[in-house]
Amino acid sequence: MTANLLDFDLEGLAAFCERLGHKRFRAVQLFRWIHQKGVARFEEMSDLARDLRERLPSVAQVRALPVLAEQASTDGTVKWLFDVGDGNAVETVYIPEDDRGTLCVSSQAGCAVGCRFCATGHQGFSRNLTTGEIIAQLWYAEHALRRRFGTQERVISNVVMMGMGEPLQNYAALVGALRVMLDDHGYGLSRRRVTVSTSGVVPMMERLAQDCPVALAVSLHAPNDALRDRLVPLNRKYPLRELLDACLRYLPSAPRDFITFEYCMLDGINDTPAHADELIDLLRGHGGSGVPCKVNLIPFNPFAASGLQRSSRAAVKAFADRLNGAGIVTTIRKTRGDDIDAACGQLAGEVWDRTRVAQRLARRSDDWQVVALRRRAEPATTTESTR
Ligand code: SF4
């Protein structure tokens, strides 16, 4: 099979070009055409050496992921469902805000961690995505959005590895993808604007600090081990004390001077004032002087199999007030796309049943403009370029 050039960071692409008898600067040109200009056809890469341009189609490809579905909300949010083969699909979501455009990217088809409140976790694990499949989500989204907005300027300013999967259980592919995101010849994102979200794979947090430190978010969801064991099964392997120790060790390498803790608010499970007080004690007391952090409260997106309910607005606000009152900066995530099963994994879980996906998208077309539902048969290299 031909090489997928989306699999390579710049060093990898330079080695690939060298094997073809070309110098590093050719790799830089190629990298910029692909990632900065969104061009997949080698014949359009006008400043590449002619012999390289002619050789590449027989040995390489820019292999995009086929788009199964695309939904665009009236609030500007766009969600794509990408086909990754063998009946698996992954989701990618673009969330525009006043001062940024954030892309939520998936790292695995399914997930082995099995968090109780997570639709992806309920589907089980299929496989790791490759670096190319992780980057293909950003590549497609960035250039599709530029075409949509009629701009050559960068649209996506932030990436959060918070889609389907536990990114630190797909470490090698993740780090390769992060390097492409951060590279000035690639997407040029700052380390502060790329966030890896983990449920707490402690040894890999240490490695990330050494290999490619970016902003870190930790899915906490509970203030004690007994509850977290039930909500995030990985806690049985890496309990809170070890997890928070790892956070403290990560911080000196981190581009931000705090860790973000995600806390999904579940009615009657983890959302009482007593839970808030326990969380305050945990975060302020750990290691003697506490963990520098922000807390992000996430209203739960209910799905039938979970048997869980979303906390009331009043409970979420009271929880936030209590944490803020104790000096822990706490925000409440705005919910978007309640109408489309926006919780990660809910749409992909039905990919096996294409008819049902189509019906669901059509049913929601009052609120969402259904832009497309298609399976692309043509090879990825025919993807339109931005030029
Ligand atoms: S919340 Fe994250 S780590 Fe937990 S099951 Fe879902 S995708 Fe996996």
Per-residue model confidence as pLDDT tens for the chain (387 residues): 899 999 999 999 999 999 999 999 999 999 999 999 999 999 999 999 999 999 999 999 999 999 999 999 999 999 999 999 999 999 999 999 999 999 999 999 999 999 999 988 888 999 999 999 999 999 999 999 999 999 999 999 999 999 999 999 999 999 999 999 999 999 999 999 999 999 999 999 999 999 999 999 999 999 999 999 999 999 999 999 999 999 999 999 999 999 999 999 999 999 999 999 999 999 999 988 999 999 999 999 888 888 999 999 999 999 999 999 999 999 999 876 555 554 555 545 444 333 344 344 444 443 333 333 333 322 233 222 222
Q: Is 166 marked within a binding site?
A: yes
Q: How far is the CA of 91 from the centre of ligand 1 (A)?
A: 13
Q: How far is the CA of 106 from the centre of ligand 1 (A)?
A: 11
Question: Which ligand 1 atom is the nearest neighbour of the CA of 121?
Answer: 5
> Coil, strand or helix: which one is 130?
coil
Q: Is the CB of 164 under 6 A from ligand 1?
A: yes
**pLDDT value, residue 361:** 41
**pLDDT value, residue 163:** 94
The full set of domain ranges for the chain reads 3-62, 68-352
Instruction: Assess contact for 111 and 91: CB atoms under 8 A.
Output: no
From the centroid of its chain, how far is CA 127? 16
Q: Is the CB of 162 under 6 A from ligand 1?
A: no
Q: Is the CB of 113 under 6 A from ligand 1?
A: yes
Q: How far is the CA of 120 from the centre of ligand 1 (A)?
A: 6
**pLDDT value, residue 56:** 97
Q: Which of 90, 219, 228, 266 is the best mutation target for the ligand 1 pocket, counting ligand atoms within 8 Å of the beta carbon and taking the most?
A: 219
Q: Which protein residue's CA is at the shortest distance from atom 5 of ligand 1?
A: 121
Catalytically annotated residues: 91, 344
**pLDDT value, residue 321:** 98
Pick the CATH number of 68-352 from 3.30.70.360, 3.40.190.10, 3.20.20.70, 3.40.50.300: 3.20.20.70
The DSSP secondary structure of 17-67, one letter per residue, reads: HHHTT--HHHHHHHHIIIIIT----GGG-TTS-HHHHHHHHHHEE--PPPE
Q: Is 111 marked within a binding site?
A: yes
Q: How far is the CA of 207 from the centre of ligand 1 (A)?
A: 20
Question: What predicted TM-score, i.e. pTM, was given to this entire model?
Answer: 0.89
**pLDDT value, residue 334:** 83
**CATH architecture, range 3-62:** Orthogonal Bundle (1.10)
Q: Is 118 marked within a binding site?
A: yes
**pLDDT value, residue 262:** 97
Q: Is the CB of 123 under 6 A from ligand 1?
A: no
Q: Which protein residue's CA is at the shortest distance from atom 7 of ligand 1?
A: 165
Diameter of the chain measured on Cα atoms: 69
Task: Print the SS3 string covering 166-197.
Answer: CHHHCHHHHHHHHHHHHCCCCCCCCHHHEEEE
Backbone angles phi, psi at 69, to 5 degrees: -155, 150
Q: Is the CB of 197 under 6 A from ligand 1?
A: no
Q: Is the CB of 167 under 6 A from ligand 1?
A: no
